């Protein structure tokens, strides 16, 4: 069962009254990626409530935007690192000792199990929910740990290690979004 919400009120649909919203209408209202994601995000045995304003918004409250924004932010980080001449080659990962780094590493490590479970149980919503967890772990890491040097600060081994962690996160986000048929934008 799919329920649409517009302006905080459930939209009543009726074939006779002509108030049916088709998938094409949904795509037009919230976009292809959000339409696909909102349908995949819920278990098949639960109802789906689609708040059109939420899913059309460019805010962290919108789950697909939140995940895609994490990917785009990581792509920007990689571009900025390249401009500064910082490479993620041969990182010393033992330098990743901050609590948020550990959380992000653990969350990345869950990816193979989540994908295997989603495939075995035929429950793609597990991947979508995992990507939201990963994006959250990344955003917390980003807020707590500076990846690139600032000002006159020289790049060091910790920058390389954090960039490598960011690249791994970006790859997992891109892979997960691809599995769901949702784009992984480089810029937003």
136-155 pLDDT, tens digit each: 999 999 999 999 999 899 99
Distance of alpha carbon 148 from alpha carbon 39, whole angstroms? 37
Mean pLDDT of the chain: 90
Tell me the pLDDT tens digit for each residue of 55-102: 888 889 999 999 999 999 999 999 999 999 999 999 999 999 999 999
Domain 63-180 has CATH 1.10.730.10: yes
Per-residue pLDDT band for 19 (boundaries 50, 70, 90) equals low
pTM for the structure as a whole: 0.87
C-beta atoms surrounding 153 within 10 Å: 10
**pLDDT category, 18, cuts 50, 70, 90?**
low
Q: Are 59 and 136 in contact (CB under 8 A)?
A: no
Question: How many angstroms separate the CA atoms of 39 and 7, rounded?
Answer: 20
Count of positions (residues) in the chain: 188
The dihedral sign for the CA sequence 126, 131, 132, 136 = positive
Please tell me the distance from the alpha carbon of residue 110 to that of residue 9, in angstroms, as a whole number.
Answer: 38
Can you give the residue ranges of every domain in the chain? 2-56, 63-180
Upper half-sphere CA count for residue 147 (Cβ side, 13 Å): 30
Regarding predicted confidence, which is higher, 173 or 26? Answer: 173
H helices present in 84-187, as ranges: 99-109, 111-121, 125-144, 157-180
């Amino acid at each position: 069962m799919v329920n649409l919400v517009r302006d905080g009120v459930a939209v009543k649909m009726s074939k006779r009254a002509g108030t049916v919203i088709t998938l094409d209408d949904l795509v037009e209202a919230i976009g292809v990626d959000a339409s696909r994601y909102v349908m995949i995000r819920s278990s098949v045995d639960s109802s789906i409530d689609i708040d059109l304003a939420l899913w059309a918004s460019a805010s962290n409250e919108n789950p697909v935007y939140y995940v895609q924004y994490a990917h785009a932010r990581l792509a920007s980080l990689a571009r900025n690192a390249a401009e500064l001449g910082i490479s993620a080659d041969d990182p010393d990962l033992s330098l990743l000792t901050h609590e948020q780094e550990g959380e992000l590493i653990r969350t990345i490590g869950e990816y193979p199990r989540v994908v295997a479970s989603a495939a075995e149980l035929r429950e793609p919503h597990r991947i979508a929910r995992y990507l939201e967890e990963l994006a959250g772990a990344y955003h917390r890491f980003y807020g707590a740990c500076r990846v690139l040097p600032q000002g006159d600060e020289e790049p060091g081994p910790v920058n390389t290690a954090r960039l490598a962690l960011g690249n791994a996160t970006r790859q997992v986000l891109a892979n997960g979004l691809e599995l769901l048929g949702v784009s992984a934008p480089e810029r937003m």
